Every structure is written in C-alpha cells, then in structure tokens.
Structure 1
Amino acid sequence: MNSTSFTENLDFNDTKVVIKVLLETSFSKEIRILMKQGQVMKEHKAPFPIIVHILEGEIAFGVEGNVHDLKQGAMLTLEGNVPHDLTAKADSIVRLTLSKQDTADRVKDVVAHS
C-alpha cells in the first residue's frame, strides 16, 4: 500500500507551474499540478487518455477551441492526442491521472515550454 496527500506540503511557485508525481501504480501515475492564478500550460497533447480533477481553485480548460471553466471538485477525461491548455483563474491544485505508459517528464516539458 502507498499513501500520500494532494493537499499537504504545497510548494506553489510565483514564476512557474509546479509538477510532482505523488503516486505510481501498476496502471497509472498520479500527478499534482500547482498553479498560481494567471499561470498557463500552453496547448499540448497527451499520447494516452488522461483524467483531470480540480481539487482546489478554478481552471479555464481549453479543448479544441472551447474553454470550460472547471471549479473545485470538477473532473474530466480526455482521449489521447486531443489538444488542450490550462489557465489558472485562481490558485489551484490539479490532480492529473496519466496512463502508466505516459511519462511525467512529458508533463514537465509542457510546463518548461509554457
């Protein structure tokens, strides 16, 4: 058994989005994304399906030209290779579930180029 918390030991950064792998299982990677209000993750695609869960805050989630306002508690799924972007409308904690076949380094690369 593995145990962790998405809401403890938060380390928001004023200049960049913070990505941390919190759990890795036989089928998924659970990643915490910390975004300060106004921070952006530019348009990108995941090669496999993802789940996005807003634990705290509010995100403008752009997908295929439409923007969806996601508030605390909201969840969504996206199939692989669907372009999407995120903008924090408030300081936010986002849970990202990746396929085991995907890499956290890919997500970190998205942040580095946003």
Structure 2
Amino acid sequence: MTTVLNAAGEGVELVSPDATFTLKAGVTETGGFELFEVDVPRGPTVPPHATPWGVTFYVLSGRAATLVDGEVHDLGPGSTLTIPPGTPYTFTVHTPYLKLLAISPTDRMSRFFRDVDATVPPGTPLAEAAGALVEIAGRHGVTVEDWS
C-alpha cells in the first residue's frame, strides 16, 4: 500500500447517466477495498439491479428512498446501508442532490463505472443510455430488471 491524498474535488471522476462516482481510494492504496464519493441528482436512477460485488453506502447529505430486495428504506444524512452481492436495489432521490460515500470490497465497481464512463457520452439521458447500460452490465455480471 502507499499513502495517497485526494483533497476535496480530487479523485478519478467516472460519470454515468444517473450519478457521478469519484474514486477517492482504490484497491492499490487501501490493500483491497475502494472508496467513492457519489453525487446523484434528484429523481429515479437505474431500475433495480444486482451486482456481483457488495457495497456499503454512507449518506453525507440529501434524502433518498432505496428499494432493496423489495423493501423500501428511507436514507438521510448519517444513514448507512450495506447491500450484499446479488441483492437487487435502486434509489429515488427526493432532494436536489444526494451525496454519499460508497465502499466496495474489490475493484469490480470501479471497473464497471470506468466502462460506463468510456462508453456512454456525458449528458446522455438515462432512458437513451438504457441499451448501452444493459450491455455494459452484462459484461460485468450485473443483472438489471426490465427497463420500462
């Protein structure tokens, strides 16, 4: 491991149609997990989806309803939510923005979002990006419920 400082506004920014993921610390720096700062605008995100990696979210600001495996959870500042691998979930943000930290135990999350960032042009509306996102998801073992 090596010492790395990412000050406010620094890190590898990975843009998807429904959020911006800033990689603040990767597996090389931490010895095995990733830490992201995530900014999500108001509204729904991708449909329920399940990833082959687990993730823990810690809400810094904003409010969201999170549907996890059929159960709705209200998240606000200070809330944490841990989602095991293979568990379907999605968010709906109710405030202008939701800012949270995401911690994942491998580098699979950053590989997925690097692929999204490289494939989907910035500013592409979520509905228009659906086909590309489903294809990217398939490459990374992510399952996505039907887009309607």
TM superposition score normalised by structure 1? 0.78
Q: Is the 8 A contact 1:41 1:87 kept in 2?
A: no
| Rg larger in structure | 2
Matches of 1:53 and 1:69, distance apart in 2: 13
- 1:98 aligned to which of 104, 115, 133: 104
Matches of 2:5 and 2:51, distance apart in 1: 26
Which residue matches 1:60?
65
TM-align CA RMSD: 2.6
Matches of 2:42 and 2:105, distance apart in 1: 28
> Which has the larger helix fraction?
2
Pairwise CA distance, 1:106: 2.1
Q: Where does 1:10-21 land on structure 2 (aligned, <5 Å)?
A: 16-21=18-23
Deviation string 1:15-66 (CA, Å, 9 cap, x unpaired) is: 7421221111211011121111114132111212211111111111111111
Higher relative contact order (CA 8 A, sep 6+): 1
Q: Where does 1:13-52 land on structure 2 (aligned, <5 Å)?
A: 16-24=18-26, 25-52=30-57
Pairwise CA distance, 1:74: 0.3
Pairwise CA distance, 1:84: 0.5
Q: Is the 8 A contact 2:64 2:76 kept in 1?
A: yes
TM superposition score normalised by structure 2? 0.62
Q: Is the 8 A contact 1:60 1:69 kept in 2?
A: yes
> Aligned partner of 2:91: which letter?
L
> Aligned partner of 2:101: which letter?
R
Is the alpha carbon distance of 1:107 and 1:87 closer, same or farther for their aligned partners in structure 2, counting shifts above 3 Å? farther
> Which has the larger strand fraction?
1
Is the alpha carbon distance of 1:55 and 1:19 closer, same or farther for their aligned partners in structure 2, counting shifts above 3 Å? same
Matches of 1:107 and 1:88, distance apart in 2: 20
